[in-house]
Amino acid sequence: MARAPFQLAGHTIQPGQRSQIDVPVARLYTHTPLHITVEVVHGRKEGPVILVCGGIHGDEINSVEIVRRLLRSKAINSLRGTLIAVPVVNVFGFLQQTRYLPDRRDLNRCFPGSENGSLGGRIAALFREEIVDQATHIIDLHTGAIHRTNLPQIRAQLSPGSETERMADAFGAPVILNAELREGSLRHYAQNRGIPVLTYEAGEALRFDEWAIAPGVRGVLRVMRRLNMLTGEQRRRSPAPAELANGSSWARAPIDGILRPRTRLGARVAKGEVLGKVADPFGNQEEEVISMADGIVIGMSRLPLANEGEALYHIARFDEIEEAETAMESFHSSLTPPPDALY
């Protein structure tokens, strides 16, 4: 029996067809219409419906590039199931090169939204009704905030043997954080509806980080293979098993001043180790930034200017720190980009 067409936002996509759809979202002051543009790849054979989206925070452009490369991958030409790809969800923020919406709301705190609510609530409701609710699986792509960078990592609410855990293991990021759901986030909404969802965090806002983008593309394709959406064998060797962090914490600036870092992203650190020093511009006062736990640096500030109490180093804790360090080394050794990565 022939597979049924796929319906999205009033459009019909036939089996074996790819289609770009502009979903009207709002207008600028100039009366210029804005759209969330979606590309749907509807395979000829039955399978999951996976949503891969970027740019919920408008300045997180690594995510946009990951979606672009995914759509250019030859692997999806013989897709089973359906791929819904959205490079930019927060079109307002993307235009203004900012994380937020014009009213300073965070779109990823507005779900499930409301058709009669704030701008963020209305966009969240539209995205949820027209796109999110069509999916059986979701991968939500992010980076660190402005002036912060993240080691490639998966954040998900995990339970043993769950579909979410299966997806997280398949992705191939060096670190998995069993992260609590944040109310108002896409992950909170989807997980509570029974849709398995991963959040991929890697790199820095307003920057292209190749070491974050290329593993992101490969990770999405690995998940799709695990879901039996793609045919053929994986050409690259499988990554080392990801290490599950049992918690994380931030090392913060002890005083106001200028940070001189002493460690790097992905480094193993020990409790009590000096991660950097903060001093005033004259050097009259200087204090050390101390690690409060053994672990791996999975996020850090890129801006040397720090206020007292500001988060500077994000350290993940592991039961087996040696295995986590091995996972980091394996990840760094696998960072040769694919031949078409820069096209």
pLDDT tens-digit series, residues 113-163:
999 999 999 999 999 999 999 999 999 999 999 999 999 999 999 999 999
Q: Enumerate the β-bridge partners of residue 24.
A: 35
Q: Which pLDDT belongs to residue 319?
A: 80
In a domain, residue 298? The reply is: yes
Mean pLDDT along residues 325-330: 68
Mean pLDDT along residues 332-338: 58
The residue length of the chain stands at 343
Judgement on whether residues 189 and 292 belong to the same structural domain of the protein: no
Question: Which among 283, 293, 330 has a CA at the least distance from the CA of 314?
Answer: 293
Judgement on whether residues 206 and 299 belong to the same structural domain of the protein: no
Q: Which pLDDT belongs to residue 295?
A: 94
Judgement on whether residues 131 and 231 belong to the same structural domain of the protein: yes
Judgement on whether residues 199 and 68 belong to the same structural domain of the protein: yes
Judgement on whether residues 199 and 235 belong to the same structural domain of the protein: yes
Give the residue from 243, 272, 300 where a domain finishes.
Answer: 243
3-state SS record for 220-242 = HHHHHHHCCCCCCCCCCCCCCCC
> Is residue 319 a contact partner of residue 229, using CB atoms and an 8 Å limit?
no
Judgement on whether residues 97 and 147 belong to the same structural domain of the protein: yes
198 three-state secondary structure: strand
Q: What is the mean pLDDT of the chain?
A: 92
Question: Which among 216, 223, 248, 111 has a CA at the least distance from the CA of 165?
Answer: 223
Cα–Cα distance between 134 and 264 in angstroms, integer? 41
In a domain, residue 331? The reply is: no
- In the chain, what are the helix, strand and coil shares in percent, each to the nearest 5? 25, 35, 40
pLDDT digits (tens, 9 = 90+) for 29-38: 899 999 999 9
In a domain, residue 1? The reply is: no
In a domain, residue 35? The reply is: yes
Q: Which pLDDT belongs to residue 343?
A: 34
- N- to C-terminal Cα distance for the chain? 39
Cα–Cα distance between 180 and 198 in angstroms, integer? 12
Mean pLDDT along residues 231-255: 82
| Selected residue with higher pLDDT from 190 and 341 | 190
Judgement on whether residues 74 and 159 belong to the same structural domain of the protein: yes
Provide the domain limits for residue 159. Answer: 6-243
Residue 342 confidence (pLDDT) above 60: no
The pairing of strands 148-156 and 295-301 is: antiparallel
Mean pLDDT along residues 321-335: 67
Residue 340 confidence (pLDDT) above 50: no
Give the residue from 210, 243, 276 where a domain finishes.
Answer: 243
CATH of the domain at 93: 3.40.630.10
Question: Which among 248, 254, 275 has a CA at the least distance from the CA of 263?
Answer: 275
* pLDDT-based confidence at residue 333 (cuts at 50, 70, 90): low
* pLDDT-based confidence at residue 241 (cuts at 50, 70, 90): confident
> Is residue 141 a contact partner of residue 205, using CB atoms and an 8 Å limit?
no
Question: Which among 251, 215, 234 has a CA at the least distance from the CA of 327?
Answer: 215
Mean pLDDT along residues 76-89: 97
What's the predicted TM-score (pTM) here?
0.93
Judgement on whether residues 279 and 138 belong to the same structural domain of the protein: no
In a domain, residue 326? The reply is: no
Give the residue from 221, 243, 265 where a domain finishes.
Answer: 243
Question: Which among 335, 95, 43 has a CA at the least distance from the CA of 217?
Answer: 335
Return the H-helix or E-strand segment holding 243.
Answer: strand 243-245
Residue 306 confidence (pLDDT) above 80: yes
Judgement on whether residues 16 and 92 belong to the same structural domain of the protein: yes
Cα–Cα distance between 96 and 55 in angstroms, integer? 12
Range in 69-78, 125-134, 258-267, 311-320 the model is least confident about: 311-320
Mean pLDDT along residues 271-289: 96
pLDDT digits (tens, 9 = 90+) for 183-237: 999 999 999 999 999 999 999 999 999 999 999 999 999 999 999 999 876 666 6
In a domain, residue 204? The reply is: yes
In the chain, the number of structural domains is 2
Residue type, 190: A
Judgement on whether residues 263 and 150 belong to the same structural domain of the protein: no
Q: Is 203 exposed, middle or buried (0-12, 13-18, 19+ CB in 10 A)?
A: buried
Judgement on whether residues 171 and 277 belong to the same structural domain of the protein: no
Question: Which among 35, 1, 3, 43 has a CA at the least distance from the CA of 19?
Answer: 43
Cis before 112 (ω within 30): yes
70 three-state secondary structure: helix
Cα–Cα distance between 299 and 297 in angstroms, integer? 6
pLDDT digits (tens, 9 = 90+) for 95-117: 999 999 999 999 999 999 999 99
**Exposure string over 236-270, b if 16+ CB within 10 A, otherwise e:** eeebbebbbbeebeebbbbeebebebebebbbbbe
In a domain, residue 263? The reply is: yes
Sign of dihedral through CA atoms 302, 305, 306, 310? negative
CATH of the domain at 266: 2.40.50.100
Task: Report in angstroms the alpha-carbon separations of 58 from 102, 176, 305.
Answer: 11, 24, 24
In a domain, residue 114? The reply is: yes
Judgement on whether residues 138 and 287 belong to the same structural domain of the protein: no
